[in-house]
Structure 1
């Protein structure tokens, strides 16, 4: 938006009265400078922050428990969606502002608009049709100015709405965690989801009743008090800053268009954040790798080999390389708190948590050996179908990735040249059906 004190520029061959004016609200004229400053300064930081957020989620996700899984995964998903929304907002805003600067510059250099007397390259009919479709640049300057400000505000509404949803995630995580103490995991999730769904339906129903009945609804009646309580709870999930900015946009723009745009934006950002899928195929007219398989028989999973470039799996085992040249193969089995914390006591009733003050005591050493033997029993490691019953596991803590793994050094001395297969069975929580197939990791000598 142009500063209010900027005087109009008179054309060289016309009077000042012929100069088209730019009608911009006086109380919003300074915001274009702030908007461009914020967009330009923050956009670079947002790209950096997106990478930091991914590293933060990846750092904590491998070793959190039930409550932490909801907080880290849910918070990471909402934070990622909010960052994507802000990045899209600022990129769109800068693009519109660049268009606006071009309009303002052209209007200041050529304030008189088109010189129709010099339009000699067009015939009279085309010139007539062109003049009917050409508008003063001041109209587009105002539209671009307003569009940039609305995009700027709408992006913040979507982003802040997604981040404030953490208010819902925290109670839900605490509810699941509490119910899991007395119920099975699946039952706790179903009950918690049912409670959240009931609250959501109650809020939607209260809003519909309030809208449909209007003045006929007595606020002091039992129904009126129930509607007020449900709507008060719904409004409490968003901050006054978000609600105020949202209300200004909703009441000054087309309500249906604004609501549809914001809901669609939130849904799209959440879907992108959850899936983060890549376009592997499915494009009309493309080959789509019809004779290639990313998984199953005949495929190598890059997550099973640390040297193939993929990030090691946080659920399944991996080895260092697909080609083993030394006398030992190093196998990593990630410790999953959500699974191992329940599976190990169920499979080995004699194991105890390793919370000793003196780790060198005889009691601590015996407890450690019991845990490692139990892990080996659960995962049933085998080489070329031959069980490695005497294989010893050890603990390994990776401080960089904040990952905890069981490590086994499998002897490959005497193996013939060619392909060999290492199999590792996954740990299973009590009450869950046993795994039907182990992880298979091919390697070559």
Structure 2
């Protein structure tokens, strides 16, 4: 009676000791990470219309960094699960066929057989490579996402400071302000690293320059800048090459930010992709466009563009309820310029006459606006009830003037909302 050899049923001796934790984290977190990008989309689409253009752009910077981190983590966990599944499959197959690949059954020529067998090597080595590859992907994804999370926090902090400075001192911030702020924050560290690399070996240990240099490097090290604060990245850079690692990191960051920006553009313009070149352009005939954003029962309150809307394309009751969402970047400056010196009650009348004149079938109607809000987004809006009891049955068109940002604004002059009685 022969003894059963259990060596083939055990894990390879050099198996990464963290493989179980890696699988647990990836398996649990992958579902959350796949949902996080859409959650971030909803936040940016909900908050951007509340802000003037320059603050919306600053918010977009934070959004791109945060979503890039979420995309990197989601992709990392999915790829890691696939690589771990491949590794488990190889381990299982080796336990079934402990002798490895039988090249005699492939009927290969001598050269092809030599090339294939050398490329594969021992099955144990192939399993070790698959194991190491999965761990490296896991570590790289977590490291890069962590870096982007730190960048996101820094950008958010700078924007918060800019917000307070504007509220307190009237300092107008924009995206260049944030970029210059990040550059100024990192400038001392870059200078210190360059001086240390070029002159550090020749500087006297106790000199004033050395003390300043060490103080700067020590400060940034405590703030989390440097390889010592990212051991996984330090290990990868030292063994895989610093230049290759930098190129890899830059490439992944670029792909992630492009994906984040593109997804935002698609979310805002869902009709921008597809083979619709021959479809009529609604900008050429705006009065013939039946846009779902103009009807409360058809619009998506988060993803539809901010535009005036009515209750439905078919109006059954005696009134058309016209809701004009407040657009801070357009309505605010226009109201201040035309009606800012008037009392609040007269400002509403001035708004209807000079800022957002309304026409019905091409004729001015001068509706009375009341202060309200978009019930489904809780954003401020002005509401007008338009009497349509005397209108004949058929198609009618509301026209709502769109305030222009300036002489170079290429937006249409008005929003047109067709409806039927």
- Cα distance in 2 between the residues matched to 1:120 and 1:178: 73
Return closer, same or farther for 1:49/1:195 CA change in 2, 3 Å cut-off.
closer
Taking structure 1 as the reference length, the TM-score comes to 0.74
1:254 Cα deviation after fit: 2.4
Deviations 1:308-339 (A, max 9, x none): 45446454323344444444333222123455
Given candidates 353, 365, 373, the residue that maps to 2:349 is 373
Q: Is the 8 A contact 1:393 1:406 kept in 2?
A: yes
Return closer, same or farther for 1:222/1:409 CA change in 2, 3 Å cut-off.
farther
The more displaced of 209-218 and 249-258 is 209-218
The more displaced of 214-223 and 401-410 is 214-223
Return closer, same or farther for 1:32/1:419 CA change in 2, 3 Å cut-off.
same
The SS at the match of 1:336 is coil
Deviations 1:54-74 (A, max 9, x none): 334444444357897577544
The correspondence of residues 249-328 of structure 1 with structure 2, limited to 5 A, is 249-276=236-263, 277-278=265-266, 288-293=275-280, 295-298=282-285, 300=289, 301-311=291-301, 313=304, 315-328=306-319
- Cα distance in 2 between the residues matched to 1:66 and 1:236: 32
Deviations 1:185-215 (A, max 9, x none): 5x86655654545556665555445445553
The SS at the match of 2:230 is helix
- Cα distance in 1 between the residues matched to 2:161 and 2:100: 64
1:443 Cα deviation after fit: 0.6
Structure 2 unaligned regions, length at least 5: none
Deviations 1:247-286 (A, max 9, x none): 2332233222222122221222122222314498999xxx
Kindly tell me the number of residue pairs found equivalent between the two proteins: 405
Aligned to 2:24: 37
Return closer, same or farther for 1:346/1:90 CA change in 2, 3 Å cut-off.
same
- Cα distance in 2 between the residues matched to 1:334 and 1:382: 17
Residue 330, structure 1, aligned to residue 307, structure 2: no
Q: Is the 8 A contact 1:281 1:288 kept in 2?
A: no
Q: Is the 8 A contact 1:206 1:231 kept in 2?
A: no
1:244 Cα deviation after fit: 3.5
Alpha-carbon RMSD across the aligned residues, in angstroms, is 4.2
Return closer, same or farther for 1:103/1:421 CA change in 2, 3 Å cut-off.
same
Aligned to 1:55: 42
Aligned to 2:144: 158
Given candidates 244, 263, 270, the residue that maps to 2:231 is 244
Aligned to 1:386: 363
The SS at the match of 1:422 is strand
Q: Is the 8 A contact 2:52 2:328 kept in 1?
A: yes
Return closer, same or farther for 1:380/1:41 CA change in 2, 3 Å cut-off.
same
The SS at the match of 2:7 is coil
Return closer, same or farther for 1:128/1:85 CA change in 2, 3 Å cut-off.
closer
- Cα distance in 2 between the residues matched to 1:411 and 1:435: 33
Taking structure 2 as the reference length, the TM-score comes to 0.78
- Cα distance in 1 between the residues matched to 2:213 and 2:228: 26
- Cα distance in 2 between the residues matched to 1:383 and 1:251: 71
